[in-house]
Structure 1
Amino acid sequence: MVALNLAYTSQINPSGASPVLTRAQVWAGLQRKIRFAQEFVPVIESCKVLKDEEGVVTREVKFKEGQGPRSEAKEVVRCWADAWVDFAQDDGTHIRNVVSDGPAGDDSDLHMTYMFEFRFPHIQEGTEEAAKEHARLKAMAKKAVESSIDTIREMVKDGRITS
């Protein structure tokens, strides 16, 4: 079995980004992402909420063929407002979306990090297959963070996110 752990961070409001997103807007976007993951992450084909109660969402996501770590996943999602969202999958995979401050400490210097803890029982540590999967997932992580930020910005522009 191989465990692949990786993280990717991107600045939410790089120079020239418009509009500048506030922490409240980013948090509203992450709340929407819990229920409509396919709008934010290109490798996700669909997201079905199975249960939504007391701040805990159980959902099933399906990945586009050959693009996700597997074809589908059942997840239990918990939030710690307004800093992170935690996705625990039924196979032990764990994903966290974190919003953090940069040195300036204001909305102009927000960052988003996605952390991934993948488990692959069918792949052996140190193999070429493990290296290929790590490279693929690293590219997916970058795309997931950046597309989520881009989607939140578009939703603010078109009025779907107003906070």
Structure 2
Amino acid sequence: MFTVSSSIPVNNSTKNHPVLDRHQVWQGLVMKAEDATRFVGAITECTVVEKDERSLLREVVLYGERMNEQVNFFPEQMIVFEPLGGPTKGFIKNEIEEDEHGNLSVRFTFTFELRSGEQNKAAEKEFSNKMEKSYIEAVETTLSSIREMVTVGAL
């Protein structure tokens, strides 16, 4: 089993971006949960199968493999994704964090083990590196999309 966690600042004062608040970031994360194809390059299909106000079940095609994911919402705080199939078992968290100065960041954490049951550290490390890069890109793409929607008044 392995865990990777990384935090990405939401608002960078050195760039000319609109300042995002917690609610805007939350709305963007929910949109990513509902249609990951707009935000995660490795996901080429995403269909919501069931949905209520606290969770959804979605079918995704990730790296060419079709699988279901249970997605649980903790409003304005965190979304937890749990793959129900595929090569791994575990979970992914997207958390909105705030430091003592009110600066927001999005932390993604994934904890997985390969379903094959193999304790192959090299395979886990390779998978971990690929997932980390993919998720950093997904969070950055999500934040960029939210900024764009705020700029045009769509959010």
- 8 Å CA contact 2:40–2:135 kept in 1: the answer is no
The root-mean-square deviation of aligned C-alpha atoms, in Å, is 1.8
Specify the alignment match of 2:29 in structure 1.
30
Query: Would the aligned equivalents of 2:113 and 2:124 in 1 still touch at CA under 8 Å?
Result: no
Comparing 152-161 and 41-50, the one that deviates more: 152-161
Partner residue, 2:151: 157
1:91-116: per-residue Cα shift (whole Å, max 9, x none)? 432111100102312xxx10001111
CA shift at 1:80, angstroms? 1.1
Match of residue 15 from structure 1: 13
Check the 8 A contact 1:9/1:111 in 2, yes or no. Answer: yes
Q: List runs of 5+ in structure 2 lacking aligned partners.
A: none
Say whether the 8 Å CA contact 1:7–1:141 is kept in structure 2: no
**What TM-score does the superposition give when structure 2 sets the normalisation length?**
0.86
Aligned length: 151
Asked whether the 8 Å contact 1:124–1:130 carries over to 2, the reply is: no
- What are the ranges of 5 or more consecutive residues in structure 1 without an aligned counterpart? 66-70
In structure 2, what residue type is equivalent to 1:9? S
Q: Deviations over 1:56-101 (max 9, x none)?
A: 2111111244xxxxx2331111111111011122143211110010
Moved over 6 A (4+): none
- 1:123 deviation in Å? 6.5
Q: How many percent of aligned residue pairs carry the same amino acid? A: 26
TM-superposed CA distance for 1:122, in Å, is: 2.8
Matched, 1:48 2:47: yes
Tell me if the contact between 1:12 and 1:110 (Cα under 8 Å) persists in the aligned partners: yes
- 2:106 matched to 1:112? yes
Give me the TM-score of the superposition, normalised by structure 1: 0.83
Give the letter for the 1:52 counterpart: K
